[in-house]
Amino acid sequence: MSALTAGGSPWPARAFGVASVVAAFALVEALIRAGTINAFIVPLPSQIVAAIPRIVAEEHVPARFWQTTQEVLWAALLLGTVGVGLGVLLYRYRVLRLATETWVGALAAAPIVLMYPLFLVIFGRSATTIVMIGFAAGLAPVILKTVEGLAGTRAVLIDVGRSFKLSRRQQFWKILLPAALPTVFVGMRLGLVFAMINIVGVEFLINFGGLGQLVNELAERYDLPGTYGAIFFVVLTSIVFFDLTERVERWLRPHR
């Protein structure tokens, strides 16, 4: 059932969401001005807003935003192809699944970002290192959720396919994959969150462009309003990808 039929227009809810954020900022502003929150640690939200045009003009934010976005995009593409592909393989070959599922699960909890020196050795100090760390960090949830989605396909739908004498390939493309898509997208969203965190983190650590590097530089200059302004653009990247994933899912699953 669509959101419209379920609960009327979505605009009041969206307006409430925006109002909540504005109210939270106003509260923080008031608490800082009252001295409850230390102004040397947390800048005034009004100063952060004022810093945004400055860092956009002086710190090449659009180019950095585009670099981080490109890195996340590449990681997302790798997750969607390699991650989902590996999930399909693990579903298809039970022995492979039994042999590796525990390791893949462990990978989900591993602090991949700490392995950045190893990635630097393999891929050099380049955007490839950042993309590969993002990809590795997001891989486990994509694989696990793909396996879960495929394995969770209702038996009766598979029987319908068998009753129409579908080939194995048809059974996969026409039934298994569409049935698994909701769960696959849960995995993709989780994977993207992990990938983004790690991409910005490694940009921060290896000082190789992007928004992560900007956060690092501004923090080192003790430009706190600018630092939080840069973090705002990191959040914006996250929103862009969340929206993009939503749109892709709506396109693939119009019945949602």
Partner 1 sequence: MTPPRAQLEVEHIVKHFVTADQTVTAVDDVSFSVAPGEFVSIIGPSGCGKSTLFNIIGGLTGEYQGRVTVEGTTISGTHPAIGMVFQEESTFPWRSVLDNVAFPLEIAGMGKSERADRAAHFVKLVGLSGFERRYPSELSGGMRQRVAIARTLASEPKILLMDEPFAALDEQTRVLLGDKVLQIQQELRQTTLLITHNLTEAVQLSDRVLVMTYRPGRLKRVVDVGLPHPRDAEIVGSDAFGHTVAQIWHDLREEASRGIAADEARVLEGGRR
Query: Could you list the residues that contact partner 1 (CB under 8 A)?
Result: 1, 154, 156-157, 159-160, 162-166, 170, 174-175, 178-179, 181, 253-255
**Residue written as token pair 């698994």:** 180
Supply φ then ψ for residue 40, to 5 degrees.
-80, -15
Q: Least distance to partner 1 from the beta carbon of 245, Å? A: 17
Alpha carbon distance 91, 245 (integer Å): 24
Write down the least CB distance from residue 100 to partner 1, Å.
29
Nearer to partner 1, 109 or 255 (CB): 255
Chain Cα centroid distance, residue 92: 27
Q: Minimal distance in Å, beta carbon 13 to partner 1? A: 21
Q: Residue 35 or residue 254: which is nearer to partner 1 going by CB?
A: 254
Structure tokens at 225: 């309003």
Nearer Cβ to partner 1 (2/36):
2
**Looking at residue 79, what DSSP letter applies?**
I
Nearer to partner 1, 109 or 156 (CB): 156
Q: Whose CA is closest to 137, among 116, 159, 162, 120?
A: 116
| Contact between residue 180 and residue 165 where contact means Cβ atoms under 8 Å apart | no
